[in-house]
Amino acid sequence: MTELKKDTCDVSEFNEDKVYRVKEMVESENILQVSEMFKALCDETRLKIAYALTQEVRLCVCDVAHIIGASTATASHHLRHLRKLGLAQSVKEGKQVYYSLDDDHVKTLITIGLVHQKEVEQRGRN
């Protein structure tokens, strides 16, 4: 019979210096802000929008609505949320509002996530 792998330690010991040093870091304000950013990207519609913005430098709200198959109101709502969190930026030109990713870091996050997922699938973990 095959023995099951354990996911926990068999003892309850910890390194005080490491724990207190790292605990202070993970409880910082920046972690909360990054968490909010990832929460925004864990929404499938917003991730699709962010991915679309990695493919085109800028898209108007109407373009985004058609890409995600939603109303302009829905697309606009999601785009505002991405802008509020610093993931996207907007500019109004005449009667249209155009969105783009805020910077290359956002594009890198999306790209790395997609590359990682492909590697996971290739290893057969999905």
For the residues 11-18, what does the mean pLDDT come to?
90
The answer to whether the beta carbons of residues 53 and 59 sit under 8 Å apart is yes
Phi, psi of 55 (to 5 degrees): -90, -30
Q: Considering the domain delimited by 30-123, tell me its CATH architecture.
A: Orthogonal Bundle (1.10)
For the residues 92-112, what does the mean pLDDT come to?
96
What pTM was estimated for this model as a whole?
0.81
Q: Which residue ranges make up each domain of the chain?
A: 30-123
Mean pLDDT check: name the lowest of 3-7, 44-48, 111-115.
3-7
User: What's the chain's average pLDDT?
Assistant: 92
Higher pLDDT, 5 or 126: 5
